[in-house]
Amino acid sequence: MAGYGGAKAVPTKAPHTKTLCAGCAAVAALFAAPQPAAAQPAGPAEWAAAMARPAVVLVSVSWHGWVRDKQTGEVFGGTAGYDVTVPCSGAVLNPDGYVVTASHCVHTGPLGGGGALFDAAIAELGKAGRIGDPAKAKQTFVNQAVAEGVAQDRPVDRRIQVERTIEADGQPKRDVAPATVVDLLAPSDGDVAVLKIPREHLSALELGTDPPPVGSTVVSVGYPRTQGQDPDAELVAGSESGQVSALRTEQGRPFSEFGAATVSGMDGGPVVDTHGRVTGIISRTTGETRTPTSATAASTIAAVLRDKGITAKIADEDRAYRTGLEQYFAGDFDAAVRSFDAVLAASPTHRQAAEYRKAAIEKGGSAGSGSTLLIVFTIVSAIVAVAICAVGLFMVAAGRRRLVSEMDTPPFGIDLSPVGLSREPQPDGQGDTDKTDWRDRPTREYETEHQADPRDGNVEPGAPLAGHPSADKPGDGDQREEKPEPQRP
Amino acid sequence: MNDSPRLPGRSAIAALFTVAVCALLAAATLIVVIVAGGTRPEPGPTAAALVSPSPTPRSAASRAAGPPMCLIGSWHTVEDTSMVTFYSDVPPLRFTGGGRDYEFHPDGTGVERQDNVALTSSYQGRELKIVANGHREFTWTATDRAITYSSFTTTAMTWDYYDQGRLISSQTAKAHSEVDDYTCQGQALSESSATGYRSTWTRTSSMGMYG
């Protein structure tokens, strides 16, 4: 089954160069070299599988019971009964723990768990030499046998658990949750079951609305069961793509048939279109590889969910994951890393996001590229701030120096009173040079220049400035005009 | 004309300082943003999923043991060896033959059918034969090594004893209990007992077979 599990779209590792200097890197980022070539998926099928994989779960159903031939009364299973575990697949269609799978995976009837127990009995009878044709034997059991529990007519014991691989401490880890059946359509009448697991913030898939057109490409995703083995220890979902070959109706329920080969274990797994939307779930595969495969239509799934008041929906992190994938496959690894970071922030155990994030980093993406730009901007801002401060201080200092020097160049000296200081010189007790300077100032020239301020226009001397208090008011600072100061020789 | 140099305007200096302060504030804010954003957010609620309910082990359950699956069904003897007291004053003689039919029902009942089944032997050159006809019903139990026949509920079986072809006696089967060792595997069953009884059986399809 080389085709299964081999479709992982996570790219191979690329050399990673450590940055020696964050600042250098930050500056270099401004002049970054062209991005590495895009990690293009092999095609829409791989893209769709990459989209679907986080929401595909392993549905493991354990059955315990006995089989009784109602005609002869013979009970098969000995004292301990049969333990049968049936692996299936499922798809999360609501982040709050709602999983959809095929009902024949969880149904107790002959087409479900009862049938699995029949198979166990038939296998045991075969060893005892009591089976002629196994297929006919199975049919005989379907007709005249019943699977039951610890006592006659008691139900068989069924344990459903949903498994997925999560990211924990940088390592893949299986998260196993018990599941209950919320609702189902019998295997012969739709083959859909809705399960609930005590988990939240699960990765979910979008449920399609329209049946896929005949001839369109779809991808089946699930956990194929290797003969005699459990699914991959790391639970890597496999995928197979094919084309829709027919749409049909069975007992009023719509089904589609498609050309992707599926095997036991993938039952209940989603069939997605090239946009990653669920168009159906794999229905009734056999132990053999089979094609075409039948898929329950999305409309049937939607109806079951609707009857239970469950809404098929995806979460923001699912959208972020989709965006990250798009960015990753477009070669925008920096953006992809940021998107996957957003996914991981909301869902820290999102394994695929962690894998793709790692892959994006290995391809040159930087988790801190956004911060790098901020750092650069910060440095520039700081430099500008310091420069402005320096210029401002320089200008102030220069102005002071100029004023001091101009005091010796009458008649152009101007009022030395700095902005905000009192017009009257303030004795400082250390020579009172201010007083001297103030007295030496040619006030008329100052006034002329002051009134020539563009803001003032052609204001006549003595006239109040527009928007300013009248200069004629007693006590106003302009009284100095009436007190001409002696000029320095 | 005024050549006097100008002191920078108040507004210009204030603007410069304002820009500088804004730039500094911006830089400080960005540093805070960088520091805050440089660390990956703490795990959200999904971290709790790791400690969410997990499946619990199934409690042990059992039913009473039924009869061995292999025995149930129909059988035909292909080779019988029995030690039979043919003459009252002669120790038991070894008779051989085959052709008996048995059914072991899962409810613990069974039936034996013999239709002119012959066991033959010889004694001092004399040809001896026992011919059985009829059927008998019984109940049975079994462990994995021994079958216990008991409670013959119906006995309509006779044994005719022939000495040199001449019928010398005819007996009706009597109720009795019998315990035989057995081995059963697939299509073959063998029985034996301490009395010298040996029998090899093969499974038939008239009962107990599926498919």
Closest CB to A140 among B44, B49, B210 = B210
Among A105, A70, A57, which Cα is nearest to A84's?
A105
pLDDT tens digit at each of 489 positions of chain A:
333 333 333 333 332 323 333 333 333 333 333 333 456 666 888 889 999 999 999 999 999 999 999 999 999 999 999 999 999 999 999 999 999 999 999 999 999 999 999 999 999 999 999 999 999 999 999 999 999 999 999 999 999 999 998 988 888 888 999 999 999 999 989 999 999 999 999 999 999 988 889 999 999 999 987 645 555 556 778 888 899 999 988 888 999 988 877 778 899 999 999 999 999 999 875 445 556 788 999 999 999 999 999 999 999 999 999 999 999 988 899 999 999 999 999 989 999 999 999 999 998 888 665 555 566 666 777 787 778 778 777 777 776 666 555 555 444 444 544 444 444 444 444 433 343 343 344 444 444 344 434 344 343 443 334 444 333 333 443 333 444 444 443
Chain A residues within an 8 Å CB radius of B73 = 130
* CATH architecture type of domain A44-307: Beta Barrel (2.40)
Asked if the Cβ–Cβ distance from B186 to A128 is below 8 Å, we say yes
Average pLDDT over residues B97-117: 96
Closest CB to A198 among B13, B53, B63 = B53
Asked if the Cβ–Cβ distance from B64 to A79 is below 8 Å, we say yes
pLDDT at residue A114, as a whole number: 95
Closest CB to A159 among B21, B55, B211 = B55
Return the sign of the alpha-carbon dihedral for residues A9, A10, A13, A19.
positive
Residue in chain B nearest A136 by alpha carbon: B211
Average pLDDT over residues B45-61: 65
Q: Is the ipTM of this complex over 0.90?
A: no
Cα-only R_g, chain B: 48
**pTM listed for this prediction:** 0.70
Using a CB–CB cutoff of 8 Å, tell me whether B54 touches chain A.
yes
pLDDT at residue B191, as a whole number: 97
Chain B closest-CA separation from residue A349 CA (Å): 7
One-letter amino acid for residue A21 of the chain: C
Partners of residue A59 on adjacent β-strands: A88, A162
The chain-wide mean pLDDT, for chain B, equals 84
Using a CB–CB cutoff of 8 Å, tell me whether B73 touches chain A.
yes
> Rounded to an integer, what distance in angstroms lies between the CA atom of residue A220 and that of residue A274?
11
Asked if the Cβ–Cβ distance from A348 to B55 is below 8 Å, we say no
Phi-psi group of A429: left, alpha or beta (phi > 0 → left; psi -120 to 50 → alpha; rest → beta): left
Structure tokens, B130: 């026992």
Phi, psi of A450 (to 5 degrees): -65, -40
Chain A closest-CA separation from residue B108 CA (Å): 10
Chain B residues within an 8 Å CB radius of A147 = none
Chain B closest-CA separation from residue A449 CA (Å): 8
Phi, psi of A294 (to 5 degrees): -95, 140
Average pLDDT over residues B107-134: 96
Asked if the Cβ–Cβ distance from B186 to A129 is below 8 Å, we say yes
pLDDT at residue B102, as a whole number: 97
Residue in chain A nearest B59 by alpha carbon: A157
Residue in chain B nearest A124 by alpha carbon: B69
Closest CB to A73 among B53, B64, B107 = B107
Among B190, B194, B200, B201, which Cα is nearest to B178's?
B194
Using a CB–CB cutoff of 8 Å, tell me whether B208 touches chain A.
yes
Asked if the Cβ–Cβ distance from A80 to B46 is below 8 Å, we say no
Partners of residue B199 on adjacent β-strands: B80, B191
pLDDT at residue A378, as a whole number: 67
* CATH architecture type of domain B73-204: Beta Barrel (2.40)
Phi, psi of A340 (to 5 degrees): -70, -30
Chain A residues within an 8 Å CB radius of B210 = 122, 125, 130-132, 136-137, 140-141
Q: Which residues contact B157 (CB under 8 A, 6 or more apart)?
A: B112, B114, B132, B133, B134, B135, B136, B172, B173
Three-state secondary structure call for residue A43 = coil
Residue in chain A nearest B209 by alpha carbon: A130
- The answer, yes or no, to whether residue B36 has pLDDT greater than 80, is no
Average pLDDT over residues B157-170: 95
pLDDT at residue A170, as a whole number: 83
Closest CB to A388 among B20, B40, B49 = B20
Q: What are the residue boundaries of the structural domains of chain B, listed by start?
A: 10-37, 73-204
Phi-psi group of A326: left, alpha or beta (phi > 0 → left; psi -120 to 50 → alpha; rest → beta): alpha
Asked if the Cβ–Cβ distance from A79 to B8 is below 8 Å, we say no
pLDDT at residue A26, as a whole number: 36
Among A340, A467, A470, A390, which Cα is nearest to B23's?
A390
pLDDT at residue A291, as a whole number: 62
Query: Exposed, middle or buried, B166 (CB in 10 Å: 0-12/13-18/19+)?
Result: exposed
Asked if the Cβ–Cβ distance from B23 to A199 is below 8 Å, we say no
Closest CB to B45 among A72, A201, A384 = A201
| Packing angle of the helix pair A44-52, A316-329 (nearest 10 deg) | 150
Closest CB to A66 among B34, B63, B185 = B63
> Rounded to an integer, what distance in angstroms lies between the CA atom of residue A313 and that of residue A267?
22
Chain A residues within an 8 Å CB radius of B206 = none
Chain B residues within an 8 Å CB radius of A392 = 13, 16-17, 20
| Packing angle of the helix pair A369-406, A22-30 (nearest 10 deg) | 90
pLDDT at residue B65, as a whole number: 87
Asked if the Cβ–Cβ distance from B4 to A347 is below 8 Å, we say no
Chain B residues within an 8 Å CB radius of A163 = none
Chain A residues within an 8 Å CB radius of B19 = 384-385, 388
Residue in chain A nearest B207 by alpha carbon: A130
Among B201, B210, B211, B209, which Cα is nearest to B102's?
B201
Q: What are the residue boundaries of the structural domains of chain A, listed by start?
A: 44-307, 407-482
Task: Calculate what percentage of chain B has a pLDDT beyond 90.
Answer: 63
Using a CB–CB cutoff of 8 Å, tell me whether B187 touches chain A.
yes
